[in-house]
């Protein structure tokens, strides 16, 4: 419940305090006095979009603050604490400031907070009805919400069970669809892996084989140069020519023989002789190696080079696909086998999910049917109760019909399409509210619905902005009576031009304007006694001191009091 709202520099309101409280509060005042700004201020506290043009001329910012009384342990208190705010002995302070540059700041429980927090909190504290909300009542979503509120806990229990099943079904269906889609992709990946491994296995690469082949190719490509160099080297080491020795082996042997001939004269020559003998043996070994090397080069090196190049091309293809090295391609065989086992492991999970989806779908359909049954039952009750209220609101021949039809698909709220149809008189066909009701009729239908629904699902605070537009006389009195009835279970704040409505107020506030030079300022004052009677007379006749108007005003107040 809103205890008090203070407004500063908003529109024509310079500074004003609205003492509210329980019961029915009405706001009246002359046209242009600023009643709309009061509703705008409430909207700002509830998270509505800020408009810098609404700031009072010459002011740097507009400030609105509201003081609420709430349950310390309720969901609103929990959300406020989550946002870092405080609640002092059941009292919650909400604030909003708007600068002339368009910047907006929200305060929740004494702490700065995002504007969205005001919206979340406001949705649980206040229901606002104005001309735009009459338009909202034409939507099927708003109509379903109204029916669900009226159905109360029975619908809430059924909807909670349905929502749980629906969420499970959607989650399982999404996972199944994802796995099915992944299965196709993974199957393609597995096929690719099998082809790759078959290709690698067919090539049968060895670790380091590419380096070996590169060396062979280099050798074979230069075989003639290698053969000539090896032959010359062999000739120098061990020549086959007969005559004076000029090869290494012959020269070493000749040197050794010369020293052996005179070695008896000096034992110191023996180590040199032994070294020459070892060198000769080594030269002989080198000569044999060169001979063998030349023997290998004498094979069909051209044909061998072609085979080496073909093998290198084969391995290059494998490396290009599965490399970047031949060792990586070989390792791909092991990793590919492990990946294949992983790719083939989804079938069991898909089968389980398929069974779960079938079971969940059946549960969703069953619970949706229960929801429909509950809505149909309460639609009949709500139709009858609202029709009774409409008769009391000077729409004696009108009736409300609520249709509940099933859609083909399921949604988070079930599969029901709810439509409110208004039958304005007995000879007419029921038509959707958007087509079959005028603005004044919509106001009364909306009020009748709220009065009936509030009996099953009370809301802390209702705000009605000119809900009585387009009506008057006896209808206006009945609107006032219904607002007073609604105020027995909820706080009700009404902006009105009608004395017939204002007569039922337990708290009458007047928005008054005063001219201070070129700028008009408005303030809010609480009316009692003769001041209230005079304001009622002004609403009736435009003359606050008319004897007939004052008499009529007193009669209205007495009538409302007697009700």
3-state secondary structure of 129: strand
What span, in angstroms and rounded, lies between the C-alpha atoms of 20 and 7?
13
User: Where do we find the tokens 């791909």?
Assistant: 332
What span, in angstroms and rounded, lies between the C-alpha atoms of 10 and 65?
12
The pLDDT score that the predictor gives to residue 413 is 94
Q: Is the pLDDT of residue 168 over 90?
A: yes
Spell out the long-range contacts of 298-303 with Cβ–Cβ below 8 A and sequence spacing 24 or more. 298/227, 301/220, 301/223, 302/220
CATH fold of 1-130+466-528 reads Rossmann fold (3.40.50)
Q: Is the pLDDT of residue 503 over 60?
A: yes
Q: Cβ(29)–Cβ(524) under 8 Å?
A: no
For β-strands 399-411 and 91-99, DSSP reports them as: unpaired
Share of the chain above pLDDT 70, in %: 92
Helix or strand holding residue 295 (H, E): helix 270-297
Record the tokens describing residue 315, joined without a space. 């391995």
Across 492-514, average pLDDT: 89
What span, in angstroms and rounded, lies between the C-alpha atoms of 224 and 229?
9
Query: Which is more confident, 139 or 510?
Result: 510
The pLDDT score that the predictor gives to residue 436 is 61
What does the buried/exposed string (b/e) look like for 194-233 if buried means 16 or more CB atoms within 10 Å of the residue's CB? eebbeebeebebeeebbeebeebbebbeebeebbeebeeb
For 106-115, the pLDDT digits (tens) are 999 989 999 9
Q: Is the pLDDT of residue 521 over 90?
A: no
Q: Is the pLDDT of residue 102 over 80?
A: yes
Q: Cβ(370)–Cβ(412) under 8 Å?
A: no
Q: To the nearest 10°, the Cα dihedral for 541, 542, 544, 547?
A: -30
- What are the angstrom distances between the C-alpha of 385 and each of 418, 450, 539? 17, 11, 32
What span, in angstroms and rounded, lies between the C-alpha atoms of 449 and 400?
10
In Å, the largest CA–CA distance within the chain is 168
Share of the chain above pLDDT 90, in %: 25
3-state secondary structure of 495: strand
Across 166-176, average pLDDT: 92
The pLDDT score that the predictor gives to residue 21 is 87
The pLDDT score that the predictor gives to residue 131 is 56
Number of continuous H segments (helices) and E segments (strands) in the chain: 18, 15
- Residue 218 has φ and ψ, to the nearest 5°, of -60, -40
Record the tokens describing residue 6, joined without a space. 């203070």
The pLDDT score that the predictor gives to residue 357 is 93
pTM of the predicted structure, to 2 decimals: 0.63
The pLDDT score that the predictor gives to residue 333 is 79
Closest to 196 measured CA to CA, from 354, 363, 10, 337: 337
What span, in angstroms and rounded, lies between the C-alpha atoms of 437 and 447?
14
Most confident among 143-152, 221-230, 308-317 (mean pLDDT): 143-152
- What are the angstrom distances between the C-alpha of 387 and each of 151, 382, 395, 399? 17, 8, 9, 5
Across 81-110, average pLDDT: 89
How high is the mean pLDDT of the chain?
Answer: 84
What span, in angstroms and rounded, lies between the C-alpha atoms of 40 and 174?
44
Across 184-189, average pLDDT: 79
Q: What share of the chain is helix, strand, coil (3-state, %, to 5)?
A: 60, 20, 20
3-state secondary structure of 55: strand
Per-residue pLDDT band at 391 (split at 50, 70, 90): confident
What span, in angstroms and rounded, lies between the C-alpha atoms of 381 and 252?
128
Enumerate the domain spans of the chain: 1-130+466-528, 203-342
Closest to 429 measured CA to CA, from 390, 410, 453, 401: 401
């Amino acid at each position: 419940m809103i205890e008090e709202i203070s407004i500063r520099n908003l529109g024509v309101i310079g500074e004003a305090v609205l003492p509210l409280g329980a019961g029915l509060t009405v706001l009246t005042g002359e046209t242009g006095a600023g009643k709309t700004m009061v509703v705008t201020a409430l909207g700002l506290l509830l998270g509505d979009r800020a408009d810098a043009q609404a700031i009072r001329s010459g002011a740097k910012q507009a400030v609105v603050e509201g003081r609420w009384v709430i349950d310390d342990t309720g969901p609103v208190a929990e959300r406020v604490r989550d946002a870092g705010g405080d609640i002092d002995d059941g009292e919650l302070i909400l604030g909003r400031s708007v600068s002339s540059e368009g910047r907006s700041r929200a305060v929740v429980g004494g702490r700065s907070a995002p504007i969205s927090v005001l919206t979340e909190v406001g949705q649980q504290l206040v229901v606002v009805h104005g001309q735009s909300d009459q338009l909202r009542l034409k939507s099927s979503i708003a109509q379903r919400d109204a029916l669900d509120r009226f159905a109360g806990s029975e619908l809430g229990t059924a909807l909670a069970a349905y929502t749980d099943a629906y969420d499970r079904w959607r989650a399982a269906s999404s996972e199944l669809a994802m796995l099915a889609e992944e299965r196709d992709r993974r199957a393609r990946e597995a096929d690719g892996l099998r082809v790759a491994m078959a290709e690698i296995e067919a090539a049968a690469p060895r670790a380091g084989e590419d380096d070996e082949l590169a060396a062979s190719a280099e050798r074979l490509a230069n075989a003639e140069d290698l053969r000539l160099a090896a032959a010359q080297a062999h000739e120098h080491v061990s020549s086959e020519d007969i005559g004076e020795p000029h090869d290494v082996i012959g020269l070493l042997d000749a040197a050794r023989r010369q020293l052996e001939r005179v070695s008896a004269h000096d034992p110191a020559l023996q180590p040199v002789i032994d070294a020459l003998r070892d060198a000769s043996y080594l030269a002989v070994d080198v000569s044999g190696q060169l001979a063998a090397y030349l023997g290998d080069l004498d094979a069909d090196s051209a044909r061998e080079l072609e085979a080496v190049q073909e093998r290198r091309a084969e391995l290059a293809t494998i490396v290009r696909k599965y490399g970047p090295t031949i060792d990586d391609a070989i390792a791909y065989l092991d990793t590919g086998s492990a990946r294949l086992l992983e790719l083939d492991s989804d079938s069991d999970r898909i089968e389980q999910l398929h069974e779960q989806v079938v079971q969940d779908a059946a549960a969703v359909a069953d619970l949706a049917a229960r929801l429909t049954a509950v809505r149909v039952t309460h639609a009949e009750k709500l139709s009858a109760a609202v029709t009774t209220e409409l008769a009391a609101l000077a729409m004696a021949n009108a009736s409300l019909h609520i249709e509940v039809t099933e859609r083909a698909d399921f949604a988070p709220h079930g599969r029901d399409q709810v439509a409110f149809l208004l039958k304005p008189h007995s000879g007419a066909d029921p038509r959707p509210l958007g087509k079959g009701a005028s603005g004044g009729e919509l106001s009364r239908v909306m009020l009748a619905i709220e009065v009936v629904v509030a009996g099953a699902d009370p809301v802390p605070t209702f705000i009605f902005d000119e809900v009585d537009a387009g009506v008057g006389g006896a209808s206006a009195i009945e609107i006032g009576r219904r607002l007073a009835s609604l105020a027995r279970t909820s706080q009700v704040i009404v902006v009105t031009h009608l004395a017939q409505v204002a007569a039922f107020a337990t708290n009458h506030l007047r928005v008054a304007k005063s001219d201070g030079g070129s700028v008009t300022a408005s303030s809010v004052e609480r009316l009692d006694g003769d001041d209230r009677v005079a304001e009622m007379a002004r609403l009736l006749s435009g003359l606050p001191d008319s004897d007939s108007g004052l008499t009529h005003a007193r009669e209205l107040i007495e009538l409302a009091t007697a009700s």
